[in-house]
Amino acid sequence: MHFYRDRRRHVITTQTEHKCVLDSCRYLQQEGFEVTYLPVRPDGLIDVAQLADAIRPDTGLVSVMAVNNEIGVVQPLEEIGRICREKGVPFHTDAAQALGKIPIDVNQMGIGLMSLSAHKIYGPKGVGALYLRRRPRIRVEPQMSGGGQERGIRSGTVPTPIVVGFGAACEIAAKEMDYDERRVSALQQRLLDGIRSKVDDVVINGSMEHRYAGNLNLSFAYVEGESLLMGLKEVAVSSGSACTSASLEPSYVLRALGVDEDMAHTSIRFGIGRFTTEEEVDRATELTVHQVLKLREMSPLYEMAKAGIDIKSIQWSQH
């Protein structure tokens, strides 16, 4: 946006983007750029017609993440890329969560810029990559000036060991992608079936059809998410994403899906990866079921709901 600042003053992104993209957009707004934050449908996907309508003559960038970090939904990249190409606007995608998990073809998807991160594919921490299209060429302003490394775009000595580590991780991910996908899907199903067979009122957040299987975001009605986390000390799960876990606000991603505030507070994100075992999934299921049932036993709301009382209709008096 800095490179094209004379002609292009408008950016389009989504309300469910990762915090790093949203914060970059806020920064641009402070500099006088305009940003449109597209809403998403209840399944977490954007409406591509709405995107097309939002593009203006001075739109300089459309940024839509490939796989959402909280709810795992996969956006329709090919359609977004087609619209951007037709309108002559560069398309950036934050593909940190998609790399090595879903196939990405930058030509077919019309991607102009793509951000990647090594630690999401079991590579070293502290290294990422930015894909920049050559034709039609995309120009960017250097983040750092200096020695002119990396074609003058990012100066500073390249940390060869971790770059090589990133490359090796990509090579493995490319070979293992199909196998990982099948294995992770089976584990996701096992986890979901295990929980649903013993617990009722469990809601899956985000589209089940357009989703990466390694991410399962569930809401357990009448259970406080933070209390549930406290009881799942053995299991590495989270409410919301790691980057926003310091705040007790309900997840902004779930709010954008239109999830009620009380249900947004009951959500837990389970992550399943290449090294997750069936035993771990079974243990996580067992602990989750135990904890949810225990918390619901203590919950007057659950009792009332089971007695057929419509909780939403109750007028709670304040003392």
pLDDT above 80 for 267: yes
- Assess if residue 14 is contained within a domain: yes
Domain boundary among 167, 199, 226: 167
**Shared domain check, 37 and 13:** yes
- Domain of 119, CATH number, reads 3.40.640.10
Of the listed ranges 125-139, 151-165, 175-189, 228-242, the least confidently predicted one is 228-242
Closest by alpha carbon to 198, among 262, 264, 291? 291
Overall average pLDDT of the 122-146 stretch: 94
**Shared domain check, 128 and 87:** yes
- Assess if residue 62 is contained within a domain: yes
**Shared domain check, 222 and 122:** no
State both tokens at 152: 């003058």
pLDDT above 60 for 241: no
**Shared domain check, 272 and 131:** no
**Shared domain check, 211 and 77:** no
Strand partners, 59: 10
Q: What percent of the chain has pLDDT over 70?
A: 97
Closest by alpha carbon to 24, among 58, 61, 75? 61
**Shared domain check, 228 and 95:** no
pTM of the predicted model as reported, rounded to 2 decimal places = 0.92
Question: Around Cβ 58, how many Cβ atoms within 10 Å?
Answer: 12
Contact 10, 54 (CB under 8 A): no
pLDDT above 60 for 114: yes
**Shared domain check, 129 and 253:** no
Cα–Cα dist 13/259, whole Å: 20
The amino acid sitting at 12 is I
Domain boundary among 143, 167, 191: 167
Cα–Cα dist 257/205, whole Å: 8
Catalytic residues: 243
- Domain of 186, CATH number, reads 3.90.1150.10
Question: Around Cβ 295, how many Cβ atoms within 10 Å?
Answer: 19
Which residues, other chains included, contact 2 with Cβ-Cβ below 8 Å and sequence gap of 6+?
140, 141
Q: Is the peptide bond before 136 cis (omega within 30 degrees of 0)?
A: yes
- Selected residue with higher pLDDT from 239 and 147: 147
- Assess if residue 317 is contained within a domain: no
Instruction: Please tell me what DSSP assigns to residue 75.
Output: P
Range of the domain at 293: 176-307
Question: Around Cβ 239, how many Cβ atoms within 10 Å?
Answer: 23
- Assess if residue 59 is contained within a domain: yes
Question: Quick one: CA torsion of 131, 77, 18, 185, rounded to 10 degrees?
Answer: -110
First-last CA distance in the chain: 52
pLDDT of residue 224: 85
Give the model confidence (pLDDT) of 51-97 as tens digits: 999 999 999 999 999 999 999 999 999 999 999 999 999 999 999 99
Cα–Cα dist 133/281, whole Å: 41
**Shared domain check, 199 and 97:** no
Pairing relation of β-strands 128-132 and 113-117? antiparallel
**Shared domain check, 6 and 154:** yes
- Assess if residue 99 is contained within a domain: yes
Quote the number of domains for the chain: 2
**Shared domain check, 284 and 244:** yes
pLDDT of residue 319: 64
Which residues, other chains included, contact 317 with Cβ-Cβ below 8 Å and sequence gap of 6+?
none
pLDDT of residue 185: 97
pLDDT above 60 for 242: no
- Assess if residue 72 is contained within a domain: yes
- Assess if residue 209 is contained within a domain: yes
**Shared domain check, 191 and 88:** no
Half-sphere exposure for 30 (CA within 13 Å, toward CB)? 6
State both tokens at 236: 């590495």
Contact 117, 99 (CB under 8 A): yes
**Shared domain check, 78 and 25:** yes
Domain boundary among 167, 193, 217: 167
- Assess if residue 314 is contained within a domain: no
- Structure-token match 């039609």, residue found: 136
